[in-house]
């Protein structure tokens, strides 16, 4: 038996400081110390190490089966020898006795140190993973600590861990300097050969959503609802907002007095533009608004195909479509409708061509039949 009061006191301190149940360490230590004992004193031995925190002791217990004739001394004990330990033993019973070697103290101390450090790292890593997993998609402040050719490494506020922002998580065109304070969204925690790695991002939809929640208390408390957000990082975001209170202008609230709220968001997004769209149950209004900043002349919708034909002024066509079709594409994603945009002149021309096609489809014989029918009615 090894008396190690200081060792168990150390486990108590670890439990208090690291918030890790000492039973977590004890179970791991018993397994590791048992392996260490067998490695040093014989693999064939049927033995186990038991830690007793109440008595501050570490014991090695050997287990042997009671037999009439011993063939394996490491695993068997004769009935005669067993009865000397306890008179009630009979053949087939399992006998345990302490066999702690005097030299085991040094081996135990060395093994315990290694196991505790390993399990401490594992527990801290698991705790960090659990904490960060619960904060997935949450917005947090980070400080840029270093950069390599592709990645940006940040210190996460209030967390004793490092975050990494990979190229696809960086807003295109933005640059950083060591010491910059930035906002990031926690994306996920992944395991690497060097331990847990926290991936953070500035390019997902949640990043913009959390920025609005941070700057617009009415969204956080539920007075204003974000119906949908679509985004092309570094270029444009469209966000549809709604308020059940008809006296509340959700767009105006999000913009803020003199644009203070939206400007704070735009400062974080750098070059990215943001269109705040008033959500409407009226599909005509919603589709027209979604094409902001372009003006809309008319909207014709096909409910069955969930498609819409939108007419805009000639000088607003490029604005409605956007560079490489971005504006109309984001509007379609925001509303869930397929949108076809035409200029007024093109729509008028198409309309005239359609009328011409209809006129030419009537032959003279059909026209005479029609006139005859009309005369009969009269």
pLDDT digits (tens, 9 = 90+) for 340-366: 999 999 888 876 665 555 454 444 444
pLDDT digits (tens, 9 = 90+) for 40-91: 776 656 778 888 888 888 887 878 888 888 888 878 888 888 888 888 989 9
135 has a pLDDT exceeding 80: no
Nearest residue to 241 via CA among 296, 285, 280: 280
Which residues, other chains included, contact 227 with Cβ-Cβ below 8 Å and sequence gap of 6+?
240, 241, 242, 279
Does residue 126 share a domain with residue 14?
A: yes
Q: Within a domain: residue 331?
A: no
CA distance 122 to 153: 22
Return the percent helix, strand and coil in the chain, to nearest 5: 45, 25, 30
307 has a pLDDT exceeding 90: yes
For residue 49, what pLDDT is reported?
A: 81
In the sheet with 338-343, reading across from the earlier edge strand, the strands are 298-302, 307-312, 338-343
- The average pLDDT across 219-239 equals 95
Ordered DSSP codes for 257-270 = GGGHHHHHHHHHHT
pLDDT digits (tens, 9 = 90+) for 171-200: 998 889 999 999 999 888 776 666 667 899
Q: What is the CATH number of the domain that holds 162?
A: 2.40.50.140
Where among 153, 175, 201 does a domain terminate? Answer: 201
- The tokens for 193 are 């050969």
Does residue 171 share a domain with residue 73?
A: no
Count other C-beta atoms under 10 Å from residue 344's C-beta. Answer: 16
Task: Indicate the number of domains in the chain.
Answer: 4
Whole-Å CA distances, 190 to 162, 202, 216, 267, 346: 12, 18, 32, 30, 53
For residue 360, what pLDDT is reported?
A: 46
Does residue 80 share a domain with residue 28?
A: yes
Domain that holds residue 11: 2-131
CA distance 334 to 203: 17
- The average pLDDT across 128-142 equals 74
- The tokens for 235 are 């270029």
How far from each other are the two terminal CA atoms of the chain, in whole angstroms?
A: 121
Does residue 341 share a domain with residue 240?
A: no
Task: Find the helix packing angle between 104-134 and 22-41, rounded to 10°.
Answer: 140
Does residue 95 share a domain with residue 43?
A: yes
Which residues, other chains included, contact 88 with Cβ-Cβ below 8 Å and sequence gap of 6+?
none
CA distance 345 to 352: 11
pLDDT digits (tens, 9 = 90+) for 263-275: 999 999 988 999 9
CB 132 within 8 A of CB 163: no
Q: Do the strands 181-192 and 139-147 form a parallel or antiparallel pair, or are they unpaired?
A: antiparallel
- Among the residues of the chain, which ranges form H helices? 5-18, 22-41, 79-85, 104-134, 205-215, 217-220, 250-255, 260-269, 283-290, 317-321, 326-335, 344-360, 364-377
Q: What is the pTM of this model?
A: 0.65
Q: Within a domain: residue 240?
A: yes
Q: Within a domain: residue 179?
A: yes
Q: Within a domain: residue 233?
A: yes
CB 42 within 8 A of CB 148: no
Name the strand (E) or helix (H) holding 57: strand 57-67
For residue 353, what pLDDT is reported?
A: 60
For residue 173, what pLDDT is reported?
A: 87
Cis peptide before 293 (omega within 30 of 0): yes
CA 279 to chain centre: 27
Q: What is the CATH number of the domain that holds 218?
A: 3.30.300.20
Q: Within a domain: residue 36?
A: yes
CA distance 153 to 132: 17
Q: What is the CATH number of the domain that holds 368?
A: 3.30.300
Q: Within a domain: residue 286?
A: no
Q: What is the CATH number of the domain that holds 51?
A: 3.30.1480.10
Does residue 76 share a domain with residue 31?
A: yes
In degrees and rounded to multiples of 5, residue 99 shows phi and psi of -135, 35
Burial (Cβ within 10 Å: 0-12, 13-18, ≥19) of residue 339: buried
Does residue 314 share a domain with residue 215?
A: no
1 has a pLDDT exceeding 60: no
Where among 171, 201, 231 does a domain terminate? Answer: 201
- Percent of the chain topping pLDDT 70: 85
Q: What is the mean pLDDT of the chain?
A: 83
For residue 373, what pLDDT is reported?
A: 46
For residue 376, what pLDDT is reported?
A: 43
Band of residue 39 on the pLDDT scale cut at 50, 70, 90: confident
Does residue 373 share a domain with residue 311?
A: yes
Does residue 306 share a domain with residue 378?
A: yes
Band of residue 106 on the pLDDT scale cut at 50, 70, 90: confident
CB 295 within 8 A of CB 317: no
Nearest residue to 99 via CA among 58, 66, 56: 58
Q: Within a domain: residue 332?
A: no
Where among 213, 247, 279 does a domain terminate? Answer: 279
């Amino acid at each position: 038996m090894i008396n190690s009061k200081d060792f168990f006191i150390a486990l108590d301190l670890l439990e208090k400081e690291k918030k890790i149940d000492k039973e977590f360490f004890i179970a791991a230590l018993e397994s590791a110390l048992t392996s260490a004992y067998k490695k040093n004193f014989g693999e064939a031995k049927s033995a186990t190490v038991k830690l007793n925190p109440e008595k501050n002791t570490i014991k090695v217990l050997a287990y042997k089966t009671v037999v009439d004739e011993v063939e394996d001394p490491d695993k068997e004990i004769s009935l005669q020898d067993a009865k000397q330990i306890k008179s009630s033993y009979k053949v087939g019973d399992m006998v345990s006795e302490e066999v702690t070697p005097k030299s085991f103290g040094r081996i135990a101390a060395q093994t315990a140190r290694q196991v505790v450090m390993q399990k401490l790292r594992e527990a801290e890593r698991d705790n960090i993973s659990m904490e960060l997993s619960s904060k997935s998609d949450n917005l947090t402040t980070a400080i840029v600590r270093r950069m390599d050719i592709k990645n940006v490494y940040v210190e996460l506020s209030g967390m004793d861990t490092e975050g990494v922002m990979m190229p696809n998580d960086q807003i295109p065109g933005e640059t950083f300097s060591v010491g910059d304070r930035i906002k990031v969204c926690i994306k996920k925690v992944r395991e690497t050969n060097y331990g847990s790695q926290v991936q953070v991002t500035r390019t997902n939809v949640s990043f913009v959503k959390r920025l609005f929640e941070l700057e617009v208390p009415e969204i956080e408390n539920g007075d204003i609802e974000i119906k949908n957000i679509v985004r092309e990082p570094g270029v444009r975001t469209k966000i549809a907002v709604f308020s059940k209170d008809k006296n509340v202008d959700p767009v105006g609230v999000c913009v803020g007095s003199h644009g203070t709220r939206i400007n704070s968001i735009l400062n974080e997004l750098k070059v990215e533009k943001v269109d705040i769209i008033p959500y409407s149950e009226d599909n005509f209004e919603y589709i027209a608004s979604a094409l902001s900043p372009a003006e809309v002349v008319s909207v014709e919708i096909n409910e069955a195909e969930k498609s819409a034909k939108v007419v805009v002024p000639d000088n607003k066509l490029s604005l409605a479509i956007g560079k490489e079709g971005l504006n109309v594409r984001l509007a379609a994603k925001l509303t869930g409708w397929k949108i076809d945009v035409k200029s007024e002149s093109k729509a008028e021309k198409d309309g005239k061509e359609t009328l011409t096609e209809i006129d030419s489809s009537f032959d003279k014989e059909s026209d005479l039949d029609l006139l005859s029918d009309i005369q009969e009615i009269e």
